[in-house]
Amino acid sequence: MPSTSRTAFAAAITTMLAMGIIYLWGIFAVPLEAELGVAGPKLSLVPSTALVCFTIGALIYDRLLRSVPLGAYVLLTFGLAGGGHLLFGLAPSFATLFVGYGVLFPIGAGLGYGLSLALASRAPDARRSVFISLTVSAFALSGVILAGLLPLAFAGRSASVSFAMIGAGLLAVGGAVLALTANTPSFATKAGPGRATDRGPWLSPLFFKLALAFFVFNYAGLMMVAHAVKLLASTGASTGLAATAPIALNLSYVAGSLLGGRLAEATPARRILPAIHAICAAGLLALLTASGAGASLAGVAAIGLVFGAAASVLPVLVGRYWGPDRISQVYGAMMFAYGLAGLLAPWVAAVLFDGSGDYTLALLSALAACAVGGAVSLTIAPVGARRQVSRRAATT
């Protein structure tokens, strides 16, 4: 592997590990509530807004990456991510928390996620799926590692001081990524995102079929991110066992993202996507019918596997249908499905739980989405068949 490819891959992994801190809000929720004197419902507006802004960053990254020099993009990414934390850390208030953590940081995190994926997508054909899988798995692995380290590092410190330390750390990591990408060719030298290729237009029925699968996988996964602990507790699990749900979810996410890309490279979309839908359905059924906490935990792990697979399978499938040069463009646009799932899943589950007293209706909503997504994914044509249709359309 050329040295520039190695350093670009190192930059991708480093950036993903840094931006994965977005999943650690739960560590700071209680200290922030006490330090700011803000009630839980009001404070919850911050992570909800952060998820929306992360999606915005992931939606715009391709156009921005192709419009500015790579160094400027890295500076902007880590400036937003680190600066957002520093804004609250140096001037703690609910307003600076909302703007810094709820808006600036997640936009930077979305840009960083896109940068990592774009760098991994430049890998040689034989290694691309492996690089993508390793890169996206680092996003969740970061949550597993930092969830254990940060409470120890910040013990006895206020939330604002902790945020200031994280902000300074992110800026330092940004400097390292800037050095790693110093000799990496800029993405801005390529044609713009609206360029035509022999793979045909990307905004097509195929795009929306893949986006539907992406939505389903994230709908189930983000529902577990928001409610897995409470769901296990509602089954009678002990507090300690219920608290292991995020660990099971994140570890299985890592496994799914590591396995998914390689499997997607060797398996037609109309086979691998229904198979992932089936695993998702099995996990949901386990949660619906579980008679004990152990079975419920297994269901959470199955959905985590699906959640992680979505992050690596979809970029690889996009590369197979539209070409590796368009992964950033097409997959970046597909992130709207992630954002929609993030808006709906936690809210729908909360509303249905409040109305019924359990998670049965919420899980059934995910199972219904799974059934629709699985059926639609069976209609996806093989890569070769789609190219023939595109060529015939171009000649008429």
Distance from C-alpha of 49 to C-alpha of 55, rounded to nearest angstrom: 10
pLDDT at 207 over 50: yes
Q: Which residues of 115-143 are buried (b: 16+ CB within 10 A; e: fewer)?
A: bbbbbbbbbeeeebbbbbbbbbbbbbbbb
- Cβ–Cβ contacts within 10 Å for residue 13, how many? 22
- Taking the domains of the chain in order of start, what are their residue ranges? 3-189, 205-395
**How confident is the model at residue 395, as a pLDDT?**
44
The domain 205-395 having CATH identifier 3.30.390.30: the answer here is no
**How confident is the model at residue 280, as a pLDDT?**
97
- Cβ–Cβ contacts within 10 Å for residue 296, how many? 28
How many contiguous H segments (helices) and E segments (strands) does the chain have?
17, 0
Least Cα distance to 26 among 12, 47, 45 occurs for 47
Q: Read off the pLDDT of each residue in 340-367 and give the average, rounded to a whole number.
A: 91
pLDDT at 217 over 60: yes
Distance from C-alpha of 248 to C-alpha of 137, rounded to nearest angstrom: 14
Q: Read off the pLDDT of each residue in 183-203 and give the average, rounded to a whole number.
A: 61
**Domains 3-189 and 205-395 in one fold:** yes
Return the percentage of the chain with pLDDT > 70, whole number. Answer: 91
Alpha-carbon separation of residue 262 from 121, 258, 307 (angstroms): 14, 8, 16
**How confident is the model at residue 1, as a pLDDT?**
52
DSSP letter (8 states) at residue 104: I
Distance from C-alpha of 364 to C-alpha of 372, rounded to nearest angstrom: 12
What topology is assigned to 3-189 in CATH? Growth Hormone; Chain: A; (1.20.1250)
Distance from C-alpha of 187 to C-alpha of 226, rounded to nearest angstrom: 36
pLDDT band for 105, please (50, 70, 90 cuts): very high
Distance from C-alpha of 303 to C-alpha of 277, rounded to nearest angstrom: 10
pLDDT band for 2, please (50, 70, 90 cuts): low
Q: Read off the pLDDT of each residue in 98-102 and give the average, rounded to a whole number.
A: 95
Is pLDDT larger for residue 337 or for residue 44?
A: 337
DSSP H stretches of helix in 67-202: 70-90, 94-99, 105-121, 125-153, 159-180
**How confident is the model at residue 233, as a pLDDT?**
85
Instruction: Supply 18's token pair.
Output: 């840094």
Chain segment 262-319, per-residue pLDDT in tens = 899 889 999 999 999 999 999 999 999 987 788 899 999 999 999 999 999 999 999 9
Return the percentage of the chain with pLDDT > 90, whole number. Answer: 55
The Cα angle at residue 104 between residues 144 and 226, in degrees rounded to 5? 40
pLDDT at 365 over 50: yes
pLDDT at 390 over 70: no
Instruction: Supply 151's token pair.
Output: 């409470």
pLDDT band for 385, please (50, 70, 90 cuts): low
Instruction: Supply 347's token pair.
Output: 């809210």
Distance from C-alpha of 294 to C-alpha of 289, rounded to nearest angstrom: 12
Q: Read off the pLDDT of each residue in 3-18 and give the average, rounded to a whole number.
A: 88
**How confident is the model at residue 197, as a pLDDT?**
43
Residues 6+ apart with CB under 8 A from 365: 348, 352
pLDDT at 393 over 60: no
Residue owning tokens 């899943």: 345
Q: Estimate to the nearest angstrom the gap between the alpha carbon of 347 and the chain centroid.
A: 18
Q: Read off the pLDDT of each residue in 196-216 and give the average, rounded to a whole number.
A: 80
Chain segment 124-136, per-residue pLDDT in tens = 888 889 999 999 8
Chain segment 138-171, per-residue pLDDT in tens = 987 887 777 777 777 787 889 999 999 999 999 9
End-to-end C-alpha distance for the chain, whole angstroms: 43
Chain segment 240-265, per-residue pLDDT in tens = 888 788 888 888 999 999 999 889 98
Chain segment 116-126, per-residue pLDDT in tens = 999 999 888 88
**How confident is the model at residue 102, as a pLDDT?**
93
**How confident is the model at residue 287, as a pLDDT?**
94
Least Cα distance to 202 among 331, 111, 377, 311 occurs for 331
Averaged pLDDT score across all residues of the chain: 87
Distance from C-alpha of 263 to C-alpha of 121, rounded to nearest angstrom: 16
DSSP letter (8 states) at residue 325: G
**How confident is the model at residue 200, as a pLDDT?**
53
